[in-house]
Amino acid sequence: MSSFWNDVVYTLKAMGPLVSVLRLVDNEKKPAMGFIYEAMDRANEAIQRAFNNNEGKYKDILAIIDKRWDCQLHHPLHATGYYLNPKFFYTNPNIHNDNEVVDGLYKCIDRLSEDDNFVVEVHKQLLVYKRAGERFGMTVAMKARTEISPTEWWKLYGGKTQHLQTIAIKVLSLTCSSSGCERNWSTFEHIHLKKRRRLEHQKLQDLVYVKYNQALLDRFECHDVIDPIALNDIDDSNEWLLGELEGEEIGND
């Protein structure tokens, strides 16, 4: 196989899962805040499988992804959305030991709480959520963890933990944007004009913040029930590249 096609397949293996994540989050109608953290983990795992778990071939790729995630994309809201998404919370027994997730959760609680008393109540109610107490332990609530959106789940079953419910709905109702990874925008064309391309990063983030909060308000006024987001495509996006192509090992340097 020619060097050119080797490079093409290598690029597809590396970028396929990431493109799936970008498509997932760049959606104004489906809140993805509760899914982005898990989606990134699955993308990393998919890349590793695409290179047959050969660390020498994917190590540099994951290092670039991690650097980008840490310096620009990662936010306590992502960790909080992951923790408060019942679909992932109750299926990951190690979530309480993940310092990055827990630290992000606590930072977000402090930021979104009205006062110290509110924070204390939220932490108390986290214990109820952790043990699946009150309505969280109802048979229908357990089945609904994977059947409805996390926002609707909290609306239906979080009424007896109102402080925590308030934060969960705020966070899980947020949409995400891939704008930080793009150069040619579509949704944000009116923000990212040529004359504004030299805006400092913080001002650009502020504009996107305003844009998405307005979209969030519009969606709430419509009172639509949002379908849950599926992450299966991220796992399978590179399935056709996992083996050898025409008997040759792909992705060699």
pLDDT tens readout for residues 224-237? 444 455 555 555 44
Claim to verify: residue 17 and residue 56 sit in the same structural domain: yes
Domain boundary among 74, 104, 137: 74
Handedness of CA 180, 70, 122, 92 (dihedral sign): positive
What is the band of 221 on the pLDDT scale with cuts at 50, 70, 90? low
Q: Is the pTM of this model over 0.85?
A: no
State yes or no: pLDDT of 213 exceeds 60.
Answer: yes
User: Whole domain around residue 126: which residue ranges?
Assistant: 82-173
Whether residue 120 lies inside any domain: the answer is yes
Residue in 10, 38, 36, 5 with CA at minimum distance from that of residue 238: 10
Whether residue 145 lies inside any domain: the answer is yes
Which residues are paired to 248 by β-bridges?
245
* Average of per-residue pLDDT across 126-154: 96
CB 55 within 8 A of CB 80: no
Q: What's the CA gap between 127 and 105, in Å, rounded? A: 14
Whether residue 92 lies inside any domain: the answer is yes
What is the band of 212 on the pLDDT scale with cuts at 50, 70, 90? low
Higher pLDDT, 126 or 65: 126
State yes or no: pLDDT of 2 exceeds 60.
Answer: yes
Whether residue 241 lies inside any domain: the answer is no
Q: What's the CA gap between 29 and 79, in Å, rounded? A: 21
Claim to verify: residue 5 and residue 48 sit in the same structural domain: yes
Whether residue 15 lies inside any domain: the answer is yes
Claim to verify: residue 54 and residue 125 sit in the same structural domain: no
What is the structure's pLDDT at 133? 95
